[in-house]
Structure 1
């Protein structure tokens, strides 16, 4: 059953079971979707009359439009499919080296894409924060923290799939930018 069609309780229990999928990659994707949802909700509440007049509502709508929750949830299913194919490469001696390389590349691409999506969403939310309805800004910040955790989790899945040194460095750079965004949110009020 597609992750997006499952109740959260069923997904959580499936994740906890002794079975190969869903696994860490799916957990990261669902975490990202939850974070993006929290930020979207904050943007949805930034639609008051004064938000429309100040232009904040337009910025909020732009954030909402940039977040595609189904795409994030689909990563959970893509991860399960990529892992199943990867397991096949360990057992099926009839696969060509070219087929194995293609499957391995996809297993790496799925979590890499999730790190990139989390990074992109975090930057968009960070840009929106000064315009957010102050009564619900904590939810937008929750979105950043949840997406940051999802990005770090996806990075661990990337690492299992043995990326090149250059790719590791590039993704680590994205994680550093994410950390900076989080650090800004965690500064005590002065």
Structure 2
């Protein structure tokens, strides 16, 4: 069943079951989706309000982005499961001859690369949410900016959780150049995330007048 068609209890039951998917990667993507939804909620409580008329156009633009990210992150839950299943499928490939062994190894390596790329894309989307949380937290309806704070925490957790899956897959990839390049990408994304998190946290604290 497609994740978008599942009830919450069905997804949690599947997550808790003795099966590999959905797993941590899917949970990270869904958590990111919830962060996007909360930012959208803050915006919906902001647009159309006279008090916030001066940021109406800006908030409409943010809403288009948070809603796109919400849809993409929900779809990523299934994409992550598919990527894992593709890796698992390579273990069933024949390995009786040297040719079969070589083909199996090549297929496995390609699947592992894709399995690293999928959660990295999730982390990138979560970074985008962290970067949106600052202006939404600073200019959104102050009555619901606490929900932007929750979105901030969820997006940061989802980003870090997704990168765990990137690093686990990199561990088994034999292409040294690929591993070096993607390890650098992970480090760069983490640095951006730390900066975006700090900026959003400060913006939200200023609006709420409470420490997070």
Instruction: Kindly provide the CA deviation profile for residues 49-80 of structure 1, in whole angstroms up to 9, marking residues without a partner as x.
Output: 2212x1x1222211110122221111110011
The answer for the alignment partner of 2:163 in structure 1 is: 155
Given that 1:108 and 1:161 are in contact with CA atoms closer than 8 Å, whether structure 2 keeps it comes out as yes
Q: Secondary structure at the match of 2:194?
A: helix
Worse-superposed segment, 145-154 or 60-69: 60-69
- Return the TM-score normalized by structure 1: 0.89
For 1:137 and 1:178, the matched residues in 2 are separated by 20
Q: Secondary structure at the match of 1:46?
A: coil
The answer for the alignment partner of 1:58 in structure 2 is: 57
The answer for the alignment partner of 1:37 in structure 2 is: 37
Q: CA RMSD in A?
A: 1.9
For 2:28 and 2:129, the matched residues in 1 are separated by 14
Given that 1:3 and 1:76 are in contact with CA atoms closer than 8 Å, whether structure 2 keeps it comes out as yes
The answer for the alignment partner of 2:14 in structure 1 is: 14
Residue 139 of structure 1 and its aligned partner are, at CA, apart by 0.8
Residue 146 of structure 1 and its aligned partner are, at CA, apart by 0.5
The answer for the alignment partner of 1:79 in structure 2 is: 80
Given that 1:115 and 1:171 are in contact with CA atoms closer than 8 Å, whether structure 2 keeps it comes out as no
Q: Secondary structure at the match of 2:58?
A: helix
Residue 91 of structure 1 and its aligned partner are, at CA, apart by 2.0
Count how many residue pairs are aligned between Structure 1 and Structure 2. Answer: 187
For 2:194 and 2:84, the matched residues in 1 are separated by 28
- Return the TM-score normalized by structure 2: 0.81
Residue 13 of structure 1 and its aligned partner are, at CA, apart by 1.4
Given that 1:63 and 1:125 are in contact with CA atoms closer than 8 Å, whether structure 2 keeps it comes out as no
When Rg is computed on C-alpha atoms for both structures, the one with the higher figure is: 2
The answer for the alignment partner of 1:88 in structure 2 is: 89
Q: Does 1:132 align with 2:140?
A: yes
Q: Secondary structure at the match of 2:142?
A: coil
Residue 90 of structure 1 and its aligned partner are, at CA, apart by 1.8
Query: Which ranges of structure 1 fall in alignment gaps of 5 or more residues?
Result: none
